Structure 1
């Protein structure tokens, strides 16, 4: 509709100009001695319009000519930025595809002083991660240094990447220092930084710090509850192992562990092992009995005979109550066999050991049964069980190897 209106307006102007020139009889006299020029008013108007148009285009041409170097520079800059952005996208795509050599090359090529500092930092750190995956650690460190030089304000981005790569290289101490400096600079750590800090403390075997971080991560719901429980029990187990040389500290630490964590059979087994190593059979038996009464664990039942108290008969009676609900547990049967041997209940011991072998043939059961046969004067049977036990041990070593 607009173009119709413009066309009508153009026709109207043309008609007006035609009528004006037809009825306009005026003229203009230009005198410049010795010359005298007489022009019609209509011709003068046309000449002035033509002169204005020519002058306009001359001025426009001069402006374009003067701005040409600037526009060429801007064009080149846009072209260079477009190429840098294209290389950046190629680097990111190659990195997430796992093509690290191409990602390193493209991200390094995308580094441009004219780009914003954050963009350069991202390119440098993608190149650093790619070099790390290629085990080119010196180039990785150079790219991290480039990120620091190009974008000194992007502290979190750089330090998080550096800490993660150092942890992957198993340099936990250096990674921990970086994360601690990040905490000092940025204040409250975000969840991802706390996760990296947790790995660093695990690598440094600082289990008290691990427990503290797990409490923070649990409050933020950063991990599954089952994983939190497993990691916490593992940290407690490591702390128990570190106190083996100090029985009192070991016992005190076990008392500080929550009743919920004590129900974990793996943690109870670690505590029992530690108590057995210190010779505290009473505490070891209490831990095993309380744990097995709450939740059955075959490995823990096998530990029951590893430390003999002053009342082994009571141990046998307690183990036989467990046997009623777990009649086919090879570890429990083996433990009962060992306890009966200590009390010189040869027949009962043999029955339990043979029952253990019938449920699950194992090297320890054959070894104990061989020793029993030696004691009761059956060297041939003892030799046979030694041989069978040795075969089972060799097969297990082959599987592990």
Structure 2
């Protein structure tokens, strides 16, 4: 439609010019001694228009000629950018599809086109990750070094990738050094970096650092609270185990543990075991009693029999008080049986141990009854319980092996 309007206007102008020329009788006299040239006004107008058009096209041609090298350079640059973009996308697509050899090849080809530093860094990291998946570790390190040379400002991208790959290669100490160098940049660490550091600290068994990182991640609301609870419990348990040979360190650590964490039955059990291993049964007993009064845990109840002292009778009374609230707890019945054996209350011991077996047959109760019967001079009954206990233990081992 637009072109039709232009064509109509052009024809209208042509008709107007033709009519004007028909009724125009004027002329122009050009004097240039010794010449005199007489031209009609119409012809002069045509000549002037021709000169203008020729001059316009001459200037346009000159401009195009002068700009040609620039335009050719821009065209080549566009082609190179398009080619680099295509190869970069090919590399990313192949990487996410799991075709690591093709991903490395495409990303390496994109690197040769020397795009911007940020693009070069991305291509280098894709190539490095692909080489890592192919177990070409030296090749991987070459790509990382190339990114450091060509894109020195892309520090976070390079260090995060390098740390993650080292961690995957089971080199947590080196990964930690990389992540620690990331903190020296002065910028706030990304949440992903903290998660990586958490994994590295776990594998390096730096449990105090794990607890610090969990607190920071919890403040950022960056991890699932159930996962935080499990990881914190494990970190505390491992820290307690590592302090078993240092009573003062163990005491300070347990005192500095928050009251919320102390309520965790698994953590209380670990602390009690640590004190029992040092021979401090009184503190272990106190930890178990406080934890069980707050929240019942069968594992702690069974552990209660391992921290006997001079006041075992009081322990029996305390355990029998718990039994009123938990009459069918096999672990508590087993602990009462062992406590009665310790106090040489043979009849009560046998009753509690047999009650434990009636609730939940298990090899610890059979073992305790076997030892009790040996003391009472009943070798046949002792042998029977040893046999049944061994059978249950083997069944449990088979079940664990099949899981």
User: Which residue number in structure 1 is paired with residue 300 of structure 2?
Assistant: 300
Distance 1:363 1:80 in 2: 74
1:375 aligns with 2:375: yes
User: Which residue number in structure 2 is paired with residue 319 of structure 1?
Assistant: 319
Q: Does the CA-based 8 Å contact 2:114-2:120 persist in structure 1?
A: no
Higher deviation after alignment, 210-219 or 49-58: 49-58
User: Which residue number in structure 1 is paired with residue 88 of structure 2?
Assistant: 88
Q: Does the CA-based 8 Å contact 1:112-1:120 persist in structure 2?
A: no
After superposition, what is the alpha-carbon deviation per residue over 1:101-138, rounded to whole angstroms, capped at 9, x for unaligned?
44333333322444111111112112222333333322
Q: Does the CA-based 8 Å contact 1:244-1:277 persist in structure 2?
A: yes
Distance 1:348 1:291 in 2: 26
Displacement, 1:199? 2.7
Displacement, 1:318? 1.4
Q: Does the CA-based 8 Å contact 1:125-1:147 persist in structure 2?
A: yes
Displacement, 1:295? 0.6
User: Which residue number in structure 1 is paired with residue 244 of structure 2?
Assistant: 244
Distance 1:398 1:132 in 2: 38
SS in 1 for 2:350: helix
User: Which residue number in structure 1 is paired with residue 132 of structure 2?
Assistant: 132
Distance 1:105 1:385 in 2: 68
Q: Label 1:234 to 1:72 Cα distance change in 2 as closer, same or farther (>3 A).
A: same
After superposition, what is the alpha-carbon deviation per residue over 1:198-242, rounded to whole angstroms, capped at 9, x for unaligned?
333333322333333333333323334443343333322222212
Q: Label 1:341 to 1:249 Cα distance change in 2 as closer, same or farther (>3 A).
A: same
User: Which residue number in structure 1 is paired with residue 262 of structure 2?
Assistant: 262
After superposition, what is the alpha-carbon deviation per residue over 1:264-306, rounded to whole angstroms, capped at 9, x for unaligned?
1111011001001001000011001110111111111111112
Displacement, 1:263? 0.5
SS in 2 for 1:85: helix
Structure 2 gap ranges (5+):
none
SS in 2 for 1:185: coil
1:361 aligns with 2:361: yes
Distance 2:243 2:277 in 1: 11
Q: Label 1:75 to 1:7 Cα distance change in 2 as closer, same or farther (>3 A).
A: closer
Q: How many residues align?
A: 401
SS in 2 for 1:90: helix
Distance 2:330 2:98 in 1: 48
Displacement, 1:29? 7.5
Q: Label 1:175 to 1:312 Cα distance change in 2 as closer, same or farther (>3 A).
A: same
Higher deviation after alignment, 202-211 or 240-249: 202-211
Higher deviation after alignment, 2-11 or 211-220: 2-11
Higher deviation after alignment, 363-372 or 2-11: 2-11
Q: Label 1:386 to 1:254 Cα distance change in 2 as closer, same or farther (>3 A).
A: same
User: Which residue number in structure 1 is paired with residue 219 of structure 2?
Assistant: 219
Displacement, 1:62? 5.2
User: Which residue number in structure 1 is paired with residue 20 of structure 2?
Assistant: 20
Higher deviation after alignment, 383-392 or 67-76: 67-76
SS in 2 for 1:111: helix
Higher deviation after alignment, 70-79 or 255-264: 70-79
Q: Equivalent residues in 2 for 1:110-149 (5 A)? A: 110-149=110-149
User: Which residue number in structure 2 is paired with residue 346 of structure 1?
Assistant: 346
User: Which residue number in structure 2 is paired with residue 336 of structure 1?
Assistant: 336
